[in-house]
Amino acid sequence: MTRWMLAHRLPVVLVWVALALVGGALAGGTIDRLSYETRLPDRPGQQANDAIAQRFDHTGGRNAPLLLVVTVPEGTTVDSLEVRRQWDALVDRVTPPGGRSVSYRGPGSESLVSGDKRTTVALVYPPATASNAPYERWLPGIETAVAQASIAGAPVELTGQPVLSGRNSGAQRSPIYETLIGAMGALCVLILVFGSGLAIVPVLMAAVAIPTTFLLVRGVTELTDVSFIVQFLVTLIGLGVAIDYALLVVTRWREERAKPGTDGPEPQARREAIVRTLASAGRAVALSGATVAISLAALVVLPVPFLRSVGYAGLLIPLVSVAVALTLLPVLLYSLGDKLDRPRRQHRPDSRLWTRIARVTTRRPVLSALVSGVVLLALAAPVLALQLGQPATSTLAQGGQPARTFERLVDAGFGEGIARPVEVLVVADATDAMQDRLRRINGVAGSVAPPGWARDGHQVIDVWTAEDPSSGGGQAAVSDVLDTTRQNPGVLAGGGPATDADFIEAVYGSLGLILLFVALLTFIVLARTLRSVVLPLKALALNALSTCAAYGVVVLVWQQGYGSELLFDTPAVGAVTIWIPMAVFAFLFGLSMDYEVFILHRIRETHLDLIAKGERDTVVPSVVTGLSRTGRLVTSAALILFLAFTALASIPITDVRVFATALAAGIVIDATLVRGILTPALVTLLGRSNWWFPRPLSRLLAVSRQLPGVGAALVTGNGQKSD
């Protein structure tokens, strides 16, 4: 394949340039086509939200209400006739046309008044848009009206999740700025690695891969909705992956060109160096891309369109990056590689630092494995306290006026769940009976069902919990509410808490089967390539451990608050958004496996070379050589990905920051502790059993090599067959 690419250099370059230019020109339109919907088809909560939106002009449902709050002076109560008249007039004035609201208007709405009768709250649902800022159209006017209002001489205040989360502060920012920051950081790392003009080559490959991926994403948008989060993944994760793959190929090409007899300008020497590079490093790149794609298939098979779209785009990132690294990059190295490698310096394929680390690790493999294993388990331990759900309302925008208002609301006895009530749609005639049953549920703080929320023979009841719906007690109360409503035919329960419960069931209900599917496919690919059963099993176990360690860091930083304000100037969120752990697994499992593949592929290559030379004890020399020649590469690649994830974490969306934190932590842990110490220690301890491969599997592969088009794909190492 590489020889064909080098023989058709001009068409290869023209095709990639055309794809990049078209993708770049259409990128803005592609971003505009991305969706902010997070629908769960056929789920009870989604059905309830759709029914509410249809009957009540797209108010309520999944979108939380705005909360108007007033505390009148001592000696005055909110149930006085004049206060109620002023309050009702204000609530009606700030409720947009077509909106829905409820305030204290006497019997049936006692849940909206505090025990001392001095504080009252109104729930306002403006008509929402399908965007990341559903109330953006109406919120400025509401804020102005509230700021100018007073009741009985007391100021009126505005709070609620849409205000606290900042999701209605304006249009979504483009990821171009973060991408440029990530690219500049990557270029600095590459300059240190190569010390020559070759540093620009991996960045150029990313500059081709990213717009091309956007072009393919545009095609996906013609078939299904694609989440707005995809734009950040394509630009920043795509940047890191494309550069990493190109870095592996360019590093190996330099090594091949530095061998005696190949450092010449003649076309044949240049061509053969590139062919050998792609036969070794190119195979590792293809295998790495396959493992990333397999792990992202976990998102594609989920019954959640939002995560499926992330999976589709995620699949395109490694596939396009691999295609660029295996086609365009060889052409560029053949044509300009020697010219760009200026000023040329003595190239040492073996890293002195990683050679020393490898020798220490292989000399004390038991101690190295124990120490690194204990550290990993300690990092992973907090995952046992992982709490899934939307960020707790009390953790949002701490210190601001809306946060202080919400704190007073909770202190007045309204319950934290009032910021995210469950919306129950019932037949109007059954409203009183259902509301009575809901109020008796343990953990429910209040409910309202105003006459204005009745249409087409149906009534909406808002019921909320004393504790936040993301907390353990809040989730239990929400579960009881859902059980109560779903025992009655024709009754639907929606709102944010109901959607969260459906989301958890949809994403994690079949988690065991999904993990088994990913593990099995990954094992098959690695076993075929490495000609080993033991090494793939070890790789899967270490990947699972490093992923759990990344989850543990997220729990410490974002759920428990150890560093979230210091690092991100953002308070702890109290719970990890439901989709994040699954998405982190899909991306991190594959990206972490990249480094395992780079190291194990080089260890196996060295093992085969030593076997060919008649060596018998190949384990320690293979590990030392493999790690010394890939350690610097893995460190540089991980640093580039870390910089990309750091840029991703600067996006002003809390969910994206939590996601980026997990990926950054996972990559650092994996590239240092796992691949730098634990992997070589375990390979050393396993000894000759590393290469155990049952004879029936060997025969199966031998037969499959006879099939047309399959043989070339199954040859391992440098084209050598292994016993």
CA distance 133 to 136: 5
pLDDT of residue 716: 39
| 673: nearest Cα among 543, 534, 564, 536 | 543
Torsion over CA: 249, 254, 257, 263 (sign): positive
Q: Is 74 in a helix, a strand, or coil?
A: coil
- The answer to whether residues 531 and 691 touch, using CB atoms and an 8 Å cutoff, is yes
Retrieve residue 487's tokens: 């025992």
- Which of these, 406, 390, 470, lies nearest to 158 by C-alpha position? 406
What letter would DSSP give residue 172? P
Query: In angstroms, how far is the first alpha carbon of the chain from the final one?
Result: 27
Distance CA 150, CA 561 (A): 37
Indicate the residue type of 85: R
Cβ pair 323, 355 in contact under 8 A: no
Closest CA to 453 of 57, 137, 106: 57
- Residue 604's pLDDT is 86
Whole-angstrom distance, CA of residue 656 vs CA of residue 499: 20
Cα distances (Å, whole numbers) of residue 34 to 71, 214, 271? 42, 11, 43
Peptide bond into 343 cis (omega under 30): yes
Q: What does the alpha-carbon distance between residue 484 and residue 470 come to, in Å, rounded to a whole number?
A: 19
Distance (Å, rounded) from C-alpha 69 to C-alpha 156?
A: 6
Q: Please answer whether residues 529 and 287 qualify as being in contact, where contact means their C-beta atoms are separated by less than 8 angstroms.
A: yes
Phi-psi region for residue 302, left (φ > 0), alpha (ψ -120 to 50) or beta?
beta
pTM of the predicted model as reported, rounded to 2 decimal places = 0.80
Q: What distance lies between CA 199 and its chain's CA centroid?
A: 29
**Do 137 and 161 touch, CB atoms closer than 8 A?**
no
The amino acid that residue 587 corresponds to is: F
Query: What Å distances lie between residue 368 and 364, 672, 678, CA to CA?
Result: 6, 13, 7
Cα 163 to its chain centre, rounded Å, is 25
> Can you list the residues of the chain whose pLDDT is less than 70?
106, 166-174, 260-265, 344-347, 396-399, 695-723
Tokens linked to 69: 């709050």
Instruction: Specify which residues 101 forms β-bridges with.
Output: 124
Which alpha helices (DSSP H) does 487-618 contain, by range? 496-508, 511-530, 534-554, 564-568, 579-612
**What tens digit of pLDDT does each residue of 10-67 get?**
999 999 999 999 999 998 888 888 888 778 888 899 999 999 999 988 888 889 999 9
Residue 88 and residue 104: Cα distance in Å, rounded?
A: 8
Work out the burial of residue 699: count CB atoms within 10 Å of its CB; fewer than 13 is exposed, 13-18 middle, 19 or more buried. exposed
Its sign, for the CA torsion 64, 70, 76, 81, is: negative
CB-neighbour burial class of residue 493 (10 A; exposed 0-12, middle 13-18, buried 19+): buried
CB 61 within 8 A of CB 497: no
**Residues 460/60, Cβ–Cβ less than 8 Å:** yes
The pLDDT of residue 168: 45
Neighbours of 675 (CB within 10 A): 26
C-alpha–C-alpha distance, residues 276 and 261, integer Å: 14
Per the CB < 8 A criterion, the answer to whether 534 and 692 are in contact is: yes
Other beta carbons within 10 angstroms of residue 219's beta carbon come to 10
Nearest to 175 by CA among 222, 239, 218, 223: 239
Q: Are 262 and 269 in contact (CB under 8 A)?
A: yes
Residues 381-432 have pLDDT tens digits of: 999 988 888 877 877 655 678 888 999 999 999 999 999 999 999 998 888 8
- Rounded CA separation 198/338 (Å): 9
Instruction: Give 220-281 as a DSSP string.
Output: HHTTS--BTTHHHIIIIIHHHHHHHHHHHHHHHHHHHHTSTT--SSSHHHHHHHHHHHIIII
Range list of H helices, 364-471? 365-380, 401-411, 431-439
- HEC readout, 696-715: HHHHHHHHHCCCCCCHHHHC
Q: Which helix H or strand E contains 460, and what residues bound it?
A: strand 458-465
Would you state the pLDDT for residue 155? 93
If we measure between CA atoms, which residue out of 327, 275, 267 comes closest to residue 5?
327
**Cα–Cα distance for residue pair 252/349, rounded to 1 Å:** 9
Could you tell me which of 88, 93, 94, 76 has the C-alpha nearest to residue 112? 88
Do residues 441 and 415 touch, judged by C-beta distance below 8 A?
A: no
